[in-house]
Structure 1
Amino acid sequence: MDSPSRRRTAARAAGALLAVPTAVAGCRLAGADAVTPVPQLLALLPWSAVPAVPALALATAARRPALVVWAAALLAVTVWLAQPYGPDTTRARGPVTARLTVLASNVEFSGATAELLAVIRRERPDLVFVSECDPGCVRLLATALPHRAEVAAPGPAGSVVLSARPLTPAPALPGTLGMPGATLRAGGKDVRLQLAHPLPPLPGRVAAWRRELAELRDFAAGYRGRSVVLAGDFNASQDHAAFRAVLDSGALHDSARIAGAARTGSWPQDGPLPPFAQIDHVLVSTDFAVRGARFLPVPRTDHRALLVELDLHALP
């Protein structure tokens, strides 16, 4: 590639490849979810490094040092940003007062109800947080776990928290989609359970998505220092500032991150590629230790389920 025209073409191609990933990485650095298409692209943040590789080769061939530095910097920054967010332990201490196994699943318009029921019977969780579960879905799943708190609604608006142990009702959080809550008595403590299911950040709905994640942030802040399990389909990953605010405001920990699975994708599992975005989470307060976390395939839904094993300690 010795001719000036070819070098110019290569330089323009490199710049085109770098423009969008640089904007996304810049918003992530600035802690801003910004506007469409940034929130959608932030779910793909680790993949932003991919266009930087051919861009680096093109910039080198074009003999443009500034472009070479730009591509190399984008690669380095993206790799750095892809590191797991938050501490790698809850530092819970004191004796273990209870053990809980928690399952979180989005059954996609109740289409995977029977398949999730099979998972529940196989894994025998103590608690199950189910999004997009209509009343018929709730009735079927309740054959495995008798105690529940639900928002009864058709389509994707219905959700339920199921338990093997009795629950005390708690107010649902406001939102377009159901977000029921309850309290579980375990290990001598009242453990506040809250299902999370804010709207997805679709074009035209980013403001509502941000507002509903703020409801979760305010909930977490209100229960800071108390025993909490906040679980479900957050429609947000660690690369979204609105999700990080939920973690930080309540001093909550992402179970998958603690278990070493911070970048394991949970969505979408029904496409031609493996799941690339982790938007399903089980967040816990500092008095929980995480013994393990597994993402489980569930047929007929676009989400993997997340199964987490927790120890509740006497002290945070």
Structure 2
Amino acid sequence: MDWDDLRIFLGVARTGSLAEGGRALRLDPATLSRRVTRLEAAAGAALFLKSPRGYALTEAGQRLLPHAEAMEARARAGVAALSADDGLRGRVRIGAPDGVANHVLPAVLARLRALHPALGLDVVALPRVFDLGRREADLAITVSPPKAGRLRVRRLCDYHLSLAAHRDYLAVRGPVATRDDLRGHEIVGYIPDMIFDADLDYLGEVGANAPGLASNSASVQLGLIRAGGGIGVVHDFMLAAAPGLVRVLPGEVRLTRAYHLSRHGDAGGPLISRTADLLADGVREEVARLEALSVG
């Protein structure tokens, strides 16, 4: 499967539509449909579920997505490396939830800064929604796409979360064979009245009890779980850097969310636009790399 095939795959996966994907790829929907059919034949698997609501990824498509995104990011990074001195000068402030700010952005921004030494980058890591209209940040990474304001929003990538606990905790408290077994265990999670995005209500989706140990910070929750405080939902991209943690109910519980990147519609000009492109590529590549480590 070559890059041109993966470009077609990503265009449809990100928009969920032949019409929208065609506009992004500058192909008419009929041509795009033929390309998708040919791609699925070459892959030997259905990559999309087609319905009146659009194109949704199948399980095979979900498996292909992070690899396609990583290849896209490497291709763009190569182009950027050839033109590192492209006039990116100034300072850009990036707002992000603390999980992605602590575990994904450091490597991404270090590489970006190495390529563009005249570009200053600020990271504001707060567990809340940023107000781009008030210029709290130039770019904001969010889970749910913002709906209010004159914003330009793009979908970055899917990421995954798993139930996890420290192996020492499980050795003392006993294994978890079913979701019903969770009722007999300590739970770590978000402070219920401080969940600022409905997509962060992981425990409600898993069916676990209210947390005995709670924080508004995903990184603090990880620390509580590593300390043996109980079972909680952990980003897969954090697991590679958390020795001692093991997945709980891995065949039954794995959540999928998506990151989105937003900027104000009239803010920043070429500097913000170009930085947004490079940031998007870097986040996709780093999430795919870390998730691959967590299962390897």
Shorter chain as normaliser: what TM range?
A: under 0.3
Determine which structure has more spread, i.e. the larger CA radius of gyration.
Answer: 1
User: Using CA pairs below 8 Å that are at least 6 residues apart, which structure has the higher relative contact order?
Assistant: 2
In the superposition, the TM-score normalised over structure 2's length comes to 0.25
TM superposition score normalised by structure 1: 0.24
Higher helix proportion (structure 1 or 2): 2
